[in-house]
Amino acid sequence: MRPLLREVGVGQKGVPEDIIPWIKENRQDILQHVSIMLTNGKRANGKDIGVDDLPRVARIRYWVEPDGRALRYCPFFHRAEDGMVYCKIHDAKPKVCIRFTPWNEEIRDYALNCPACREKAP
């Protein structure tokens, strides 16, 4: 069964547990790529909210441009000169990324199209 793109990372809904440490550690590099929908219907960029705003968060979405436009690739994907692929935020990556296993047979079809599994970076 081939999963939808949103089920393996891009466009995936986030969880507050992911963004709390990013806020506390002032990880603007990550938060700028997070879109937040507040309970009053207003949108905010992740870098514009604080821990006190979390009770008003209705939805969190990964990965976006700082202006809110959805990305179709991970902004933290990095292919080094030696051809190896690295996550630029490995120690702080969200749960959806931790659960992403492109080597898993269930998502093999997707993995073959995954930027981390291609020859060239997106």
Q: What are phi and psi of 58, to 5 degrees?
A: -95, -35
- The two tokens of residue 121 are 């970076």
What is the domain extent for residue 10? Answer: 5-117
In the block, residue with structure tokens 């990880």: 27
Across the 122 residues of the chain, what is the mean pLDDT of every consecutive 10-residue run? 42 85 96 95 94 94 89 85 85 84 55 54 44
User: Would residue 15 count as lying in a domain?
Assistant: yes
Cα angle: 28, vertex 30, 36; to 5 degrees? 90
User: Would residue 122 count as lying in a domain?
Assistant: no
Contact 92, 83 (CB under 8 A): no
Q: Considering only CA atoms, which of 2, 14, 113 is closest in space to residue 64? A: 14
The pLDDT assigned to 6 comes to 42
Contact 37, 67 (CB under 8 A): no
Domains held by the chain: number = 1
User: Would residue 41 count as lying in a domain?
Assistant: yes
Output b/e per residue, 6-28; b: 16+ Cβ within 10 A: eebbbbbebeeebbeebbeeebe
CA distances (Å), 89 to each of 75, 82, 92, in order?
Answer: 10, 19, 5
pTM of the full predicted structure?
0.75
User: Would residue 40 count as lying in a domain?
Assistant: yes
User: Would residue 110 count as lying in a domain?
Assistant: yes
The pLDDT assigned to 114 comes to 59
